[in-house]
Chain A
Amino acid sequence: MPEKVRIVPEKAERKALAMGLQALNENMITLADLSELAIRKAVDGLARLDPSVADEVFLLDGEIYALQIEIEKNCIDLIALHAPVARDLRTITTSLKITTDFDRIGRYAKDISEITLKFRGKEPNHLRNLGSIPEMTELAIRLVDKAIRAFVARDAESVRHIQEDDDAVDLLEDRAFQELVDKMKAGTLDVEIGARYILVTRYLERIADHAVNIGQRVVYMVTGERMPRVRAAQRANDPHA
């Protein structure tokens, strides 16, 4: 993790607000760390078909949810008591928005762990059937990590083009989907199992989407600039879009 940003201004005339922002930032960093840990554990559990990891992920998901609620309360208090403006306001509203993204990432980690439990004893060809999923997993986690680092370091530039990184995840999802469908058509993969793999790819793709949301919100938080949502096809036609 990069060095944490110090929020308290050197000559704080509004110390209570500054301290509240510092506490909020610390909670946000914990939330981000927990979400990333949940997804790392979930995919590790899936790769090794290790059911013991699932309990840890379920626990993390519960903690992420509780922390999300606490952060929401932090933000509402700060708005109600201090009427924040400018960067302070953007930090608080961004935190409010991206806690939902972190919560969703935690929830998908839990969903992946549930699938891991369902595979137990029913999927003898796991490693072979994973196909493009490990590569997709790596990219999705890298995206989450990138978004979190940008948030922690208040670095808008590193995530300004995060949407483009997500294109690779989308392509891999398409590829994994095709691989799985081909195997099911050929009768080498049980349809119920295959459908669950497809769900995994969908969860990973959604995790990457939430990382994009976080990255784009970080750009707004730091610069005040709202990033447009541009579809991949449109970006391919106009690289400057």
Chain B
Amino acid sequence: MIGAKMRTERLSAWYGTKAAIKEISINFEEHMVTSIIGPSGCGKSTLIRCMNRLHEVVPKARAEGKVLLDGEDVYELDAVSVRRRVGMVFQKANPFPTMSVYDNVAAGLRLNGMRDRKKLDEAVYRSLKQAALWDEVKDSLDAPGVSLSGGQQQRLCIARALAVQPEVLLMDEPCSALDPIATAKIEDLVFDLKKEYTVVIVTHNMQQAARVADYTAFLYLGKLIEYNVTRELFERPAEELTEKYITGRFG
């Protein structure tokens, strides 16, 4: 264990008066993959949306508690810089519809003011390579991003997130709309990405959590029920609720 790259401390979040997560404290270890599992509505997505301050953009949404990135509370930092350091990939691939493959990847860098074509080329190449997409799109960088297959679009979004060189990558059910082959590619990618990034992945697919994650957190009704090394959590969960959920005995 290298140490926690990110940490939540008694983090609670609300939509209006409805609490979505309640006093969640988790360490996200550096260069590790942490998966967050739990039934729909348990607060998985809210938790990661608090981690890069996306939660607050929803009207009447608010959060309490702390989210620490390298020991600094992200709520005391500039929200835009937090989102640059903590990237997010969403459930549904969402490439910018009017942009080419190249421009999709370069978009974040251009927003940050990068104009040097050579540097942009390098960053686009590096990001597409890291996202395991380069070989498939290197001859069609000018084609519209939306012309790619679903799995390629998701990897394009991962490349776009990686282009600004974040430190943490949050993935919100990144494979839920993908077939098994595209899913396997993303999972292989996650395995490679942890060498350079800290990855947090929300998933409904427990086998996926078991395959890709070093640590797993189980959330239920907005509370953290159990957090442990993935192997332990799936072989001998400490909590009866976890046992019931992962074995499909949830009534």
Residues of A with Cβ closer than 8 Å to B?
A: 9-14, 17, 83-90, 223-225
Q: How far is it, in angstroms, between the C-alpha of A87 and the C-alpha of B207 when the chains are bound?
A: 16
Given known contacts A85-B210, A87-B243, A14 and B235 CB-to-CB distance under 8 angstroms: no
Which residues on the B side are within 8 Å of A9 (C-beta)?
247, 249
Q: Are A85 and B235 in contact (CB under 8 A)?
A: yes
Q: Are A85 and B247 in contact (CB under 8 A)?
A: yes
Q: How far is it, in angstroms, between the C-alpha of A223 and the C-alpha of B240 when the chains are bound?
A: 12
Q: Are A86 and B236 in contact (CB under 8 A)?
A: yes
Interface residue? B251 (CB, 8 A): yes
Q: How far is it, in angstroms, between the C-alpha of A11 and the C-alpha of B250 when the chains are bound?
A: 7
Given known contacts A85-B206, A85-B210, A86-B243, A12 and B235 CB-to-CB distance under 8 angstroms: no
Interface size on B, residues (CB 8 A): 15
Interface residue? B59 (CB, 8 A): no
Which residues on the A side are within 8 Å of B243 (C-beta)?
86-87
Q: Are A87 and B247 in contact (CB under 8 A)?
A: yes
Convert B183-208 into 0s and 1s, putting 1 for each residue whose CB lies closer than 8 angstroms to a CB of A: 00000000000000000000000110
List which B196-251 residues lie within 8 A (CB) of chain A: 206-207, 210, 234-237, 242-243, 246-251
Q: Are B248 and A86 in contact (CB under 8 A)?
A: no
Q: How far is it, in angstroms, between the C-alpha of A88 and the C-alpha of B247 when the chains are bound?
A: 7
> Which are the 3 A-B pairs with shortest beta-carbon distances?
A224-B236, A11-B251, A14-B248
Q: Are B237 and A10 in contact (CB under 8 A)?
A: no
Task: List 11 other contacts, CB 8 Å, given A86-B234, A87-B247.
Answer: A9-B247, A13-B248, A14-B248, A14-B249, A84-B247, A85-B206, A86-B235, A86-B247, A88-B247, A90-B235, A225-B236
Q: Are B250 and A86 in contact (CB under 8 A)?
A: no
Which residues on the A side are within 8 Å of B236 (C-beta)?
86, 90, 223-225
